[in-house]
């Protein structure tokens, strides 16, 4: 089953990477699906593709160095970013991301790019966000107080045994099916101590879904 899922992820990653052209600054995500993007991008770089990449985590940066993908710091606009997702809402392509722990940097890159492409296998597609937990990155100071504020919004946070590249904690929060993701996003941003949350709303331009029959490309239908 894992081999089949990885084959679908690889298919989606290869589809998205075809949209990378020489001269581009490319944002690169983190996580298991992003690994397939890095491998395909490395192959194209060895074949002559000229790009610079902005990684969203120290792990991705290290992997790029291993694969000889040229790196750059984020200093302006990114032409194209490719990343995975934990949940993709079919209709509007809103996302939940961050279960790999890099959500703050991933969202900075997502907001800085001209085109934001997501690669997933079909298990990530949902009718409504909230099938799983929403990761929330919080500063360590007073994090217990931040937990209580999230609980007041109806969330059930659990602190992950993990420290982000930014030195913060991750709270994995169960909200159940999220009726209004934009409202929840605003409420979370209003809590002091929340550095960022894993609701990626109105950002994805395309979602490349690897299926047994090929790649399905979804675009927002709002």
Catalytic residues: 106
Query: Which of 58, 47, 128 lies closest to 95, judged by CA?
Result: 128
SS3 30: coil
Contact 129, 108 (CB under 8 A): no
C-alpha–C-alpha distance, residues 184 and 27, integer Å: 27
Which residues lie below 8 Å from residue 155, measured CB to CB, with a gap of 6+? 134, 173, 174, 175
Copy the structure tokens of residue 9. 């992820």
Dist. CA 109–CA 199, nearest whole Å: 14
């Amino acid at each position: 089953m894992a081999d089949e899922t990885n084959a679908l992820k690889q298919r989606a990653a290869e589809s998205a990477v075809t949209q990378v052209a020489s001269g581009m600054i490319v944002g690169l995500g983190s996580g298991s699906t992003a690994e397939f993007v890095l491998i395909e991008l490395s192959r194209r770089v060895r074949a002559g593709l000229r790009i610079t990449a902005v990684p969203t985590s120290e792990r991705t940066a290290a992997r790029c160095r291993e694969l000889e993908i040229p790196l750059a710091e984020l200093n302006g606009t990114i032409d194209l970013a490719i990343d995975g997702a934990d949940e993709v809402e079919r209709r509007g392509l809103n996302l939940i991301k961050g279960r790999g722990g890099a959500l703050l940097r991933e969202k900075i890159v997502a907001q800085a790019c001209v085109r934001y492409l997501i690669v997933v296998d079909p298990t990530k597609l949902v009718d409504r966000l909230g099938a799983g937990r929403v990761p929330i990155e919080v500063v360590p100071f007073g994090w217990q107080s931040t937990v209580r504020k999230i609980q007041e919004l109806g969330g059930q946070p659990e602190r992950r045994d993990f420290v982000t590249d930014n030195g913060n904690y991750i709270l994995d929060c169960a909200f159940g099916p999220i009726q209004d993701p934009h409202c929840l996003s605003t409420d979370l941003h209003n809590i002091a101590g929340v550095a960022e949350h894993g609701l990626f709303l109105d950002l994805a331009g395309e979602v490349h879904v690897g299926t047994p029959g090929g790649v399905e490309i979804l675009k927002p239908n709002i």
